[in-house]
Amino acid sequence: MKQIGHWINGALVAGNSGRTADVFNPATGEVQAKVALASKAELDAAVADAAEAQIKWGATNPQRRARVMMELVRLINRDMDKLAEALSSEHGKTFPDAKGDIQRGLEVIEFCIGAPHLLKGEFTDSAGPGIDMYSLRQPVGVAAGITPFNFPAMIPLWKMGPALAAGNAFILKPSERDPSVPLMLAALCKEAGLPDGVLQVINGDKEAVDAILDNDTIQAIGFVGSTPIAQYIYGRGCANGKRVQCFGGAKNHMIIMPDADMDLAADALVGAGYGAAGERCMAISVAVPVGDKTADALIERLIPRIEKLKVGPWTAGNDVDYGPVVTAAAKANILRLVQTGVDQGAKLVVDGRDFSLQGYEDGFFVGPHLFDNVTPDMDIYKHEIFGPVLSTVRTQSYEEALKLAMDHEYGNGTAIFTRDGDTARDFANRINVGMIGINVPIPVPLAYHTFGGWKKSVFGDLNQHGPDAFRFYTRTKTVTARWPSGIKEGSAFNFKAMD
């Protein structure tokens, strides 16, 4: 049985806590590895070493740090297939989806090559008589990232790239469900020239998380996961005086106006609702057609598209639309919520509950589901299902559809499909959601913009990647300098006097 440890001081090391967790092959349901779960003592020792290594790394000029990022981009591209294979085998994503996971993380590392520009301060000449004023952006010291299972490459790269480029040491606590890719990325960082100890990867569970939250040396923490855990980490981290950004759950609505291109909207919903088995915080899980005629036309187009979806293992290559969910517990929770939807009166138009794949009967596969006539009081509407389930909530007006999305407790992403520019503009201006798509179903910003939601989808005041990442991982120091005038000629301190 494969044993997975930690990455400490530039090398793979075994855990010594005596505790492990199972790493499954989601396609077969078999345990393929055991991952070590770190103790508080292991975490604290790694942080102490990171703090020592950070001193020299933080003093390295930004351009040299950027060159490490540049080399890391080359190495990730070199090993793209190897990384994607490891990712798919532990998460279950299709191979193209796994490569997309890595690519979106890689784009943030590309952005980090511009760190010297992003870390520049400001300067005011002659702010007063003989007085200059300037600001410095300096690393916080040691930062940490607690990242989720659904993007085991992208989110770790989003977190560690800006933190390292800004001159910090970084403690990464990835998901214990798919830990191999973060360790592979750490090895590539070393190969790219990152000094030992600057990046530490600690695998673990709640004990490691709590150790991060309580460690006095760690100054900043980034988290992506469910809203209850985001609230917990944000509250405990802030109480301990840390800078914290936490990104939680989502329930993303897509409004379909009567004038929308229905085929375009249907294709968008299938990709955004069922891609990656729905295990994406930016997945569209609620379709909101305006008017019964629009709803009927949309459902008519969705049914054949959904029924044609191919579900299977990542080893099937491009012949598969999505793979299994990550664990048996995740599958059970999805099917429980589907049954709740049926029990509460929603119409299950496409029923994937009995889906089974020959030869993979023990895998964590979930067939696609489509609900119609969902109402806001139902559990399948209120809760994030995180699976291949699309709910349709019919509305009779644009204002009703807008209010539906605005009243939901989550505000991560949303979209509208329409041919009318005035409607789209009004939607973008009024909606209380962080990321908005206009005829774009998954409006994930590119790396040089920032990623983040509103309401209970986020805790903290700065977003991920883009300029906000460098603001989060640095502190501003402002200097006011005055050099009193002296007698320059004939003074003891001049070159002639020193000859």
For the record, the structure tokens of 72 come out as 């890391």
Give the helix/strand (H/E) hosting 10.
none
Domain presence at residue 240: yes
Q: What pLDDT is stored for residue 498 in this prediction?
A: 39
Checking if the pLDDT of 111 tops 80, the result is yes
Cβ 374 vs Cβ 393: under 8 Å: yes
Domain presence at residue 200: yes
Q: How does residue 245 score in pLDDT terms, banded at 50, 70 and 90?
A: very high
Domain presence at residue 291: yes
Cβ 419 vs Cβ 261: under 8 Å: yes
SS (H, E, C) 420-442: CHHHHHHHHHHCCCCEEEECCCC
Q: How does residue 130 score in pLDDT terms, banded at 50, 70 and 90?
A: confident
Q: What pLDDT is stored for residue 377 in this prediction?
A: 97
Checking if the pLDDT of 95 tops 90, the result is yes
Q: State whether 167 and 286 are in the same domain.
A: no
Question: For residue 453, what are the contacts with CB-CB under 8 A and spacing of at least 6?
Answer: 247, 250, 410, 411, 412, 413, 433, 434, 435
Annotated catalytic residue 281: yes
Q: State whether 224 and 283 are in the same domain.
A: no
d(CA 430, CA 416): 12
Q: What pLDDT is stored for residue 179 in this prediction?
A: 98
Residue 302, SS3 per DSSP: helix
Q: State whether 332 and 356 are in the same domain.
A: yes
Q: % helix / strand / coil in the chain, to the nearest 5?
A: 40, 25, 35
Give the count of domains, the chain: 2
Domain presence at residue 343: yes
Greatest pairwise CA separation for the chain in angstroms: 95
DSSP state of 316: G
Q: State whether 38 and 186 are in the same domain.
A: yes
Residue 274: how many CB atoms within 10 A of its CB? 25
Q: How many CA atoms lie within 13 A of 491 on its CB side?
A: 7
Residue located via tokens 């010291």: 141
Give the helix/strand (H/E) hosting 125.
strand 123-128
Domain presence at residue 448: no
Q: State whether 313 and 236 are in the same domain.
A: no
| Mean pLDDT on 447-473 | 94
Q: State whether 214 and 265 are in the same domain.
A: no
Higher pLDDT pick, 490 / 228:
228
Q: How many CA atoms lie within 13 A of 170 on its CB side?
A: 29
Q: How does residue 395 score in pLDDT terms, banded at 50, 70 and 90?
A: very high
**Sequence-ordered alpha helix ranges (H) in 250-397:** 262-274, 292-307, 328-343, 379-382
| CA distances for 187 relative to 80, 152, 203, angstroms | 14, 15, 15
Q: What pLDDT is stored for residue 317 in this prediction?
A: 81
Q: State whether 391 and 465 are in the same domain.
A: no
| Dihedral sign for Cα atoms in the order 344, 347, 353, 354 | positive
CATH number of the CATH domain containing 80: 3.40.605.10
Q: State whether 130 and 155 are in the same domain.
A: yes
pLDDT in tens, 132-167: 999 999 999 999 999 999 999 999 999 999 999 999
Backbone phi and psi for residue 40, each to the nearest 5 degrees, phi listed first? -60, -40
Q: What pLDDT is stored for residue 484 in this prediction?
A: 81
Q: What pLDDT is stored for residue 160 in this prediction?
A: 98
pLDDT in tens, 336-361: 999 999 999 999 999 999 999 999 99
Higher pLDDT pick, 242 / 1:
242
54-68, 115-129, 171-185, 406-420: least confidently modelled range: 115-129
98-107, 307-316, 386-395, 485-494: least confidently modelled range: 485-494
Q: What pLDDT is stored for residue 129 in this prediction?
A: 87
Checking if the pLDDT of 495 tops 50, the result is no
Q: Model pTM? A: 0.94
Give the helix/strand (H/E) hosting 55.
helix 40-59
pLDDT in tens, 163-179: 999 999 999 999 999 99
Checking if the pLDDT of 115 tops 60, the result is yes
Backbone phi and psi for residue 195, each to the nearest 5 degrees, phi listed first? -65, 150
Domain presence at residue 490: no
pLDDT in tens, 402-456: 999 999 999 999 999 999 999 999 999 999 999 999 999 999 999 999 999 999 9
| Mean pLDDT on 206-229 | 97
Q: State whether 336 and 390 are in the same domain.
A: yes
Q: How does residue 487 score in pLDDT terms, banded at 50, 70 and 90?
A: low
Q: State whether 397 and 417 are in the same domain.
A: yes
Q: Note down the domain range covering 92.
A: 2-248+457-480
Q: How does residue 488 score in pLDDT terms, banded at 50, 70 and 90?
A: low
Q: What pLDDT is stored for residue 489 in this prediction?
A: 59
Residue 138, SS3 per DSSP: strand
CATH number of the CATH domain containing 321: 3.40.309.10
DSSP state of 249: -
Q: What pLDDT is stored for residue 137 in this prediction?
A: 95
For the record, the structure tokens of 199 come out as 């990046």
- Output the average pLDDT for the chain: 95
| Mean pLDDT on 229-236 | 97
Strand order in the sheet with 2-4: 2-4, 30-36, 20-25
d(CA 387, CA 342): 16
Per DSSP (E only), the strands in 374-485 are 389-392, 410-411, 413-417, 435-438, 454-455, 458-459, 474-482
Question: Looking at 112, 189, 246, 281, which residue is catalytic?
Answer: 281
Q: State whether 237 and 258 are in the same domain.
A: no
Domain presence at residue 274: yes
| Mean pLDDT on 123-139 | 93
Domain presence at residue 487: no
For the record, the structure tokens of 136 come out as 């410095």
Q: State whether 208 and 60 are in the same domain.
A: yes
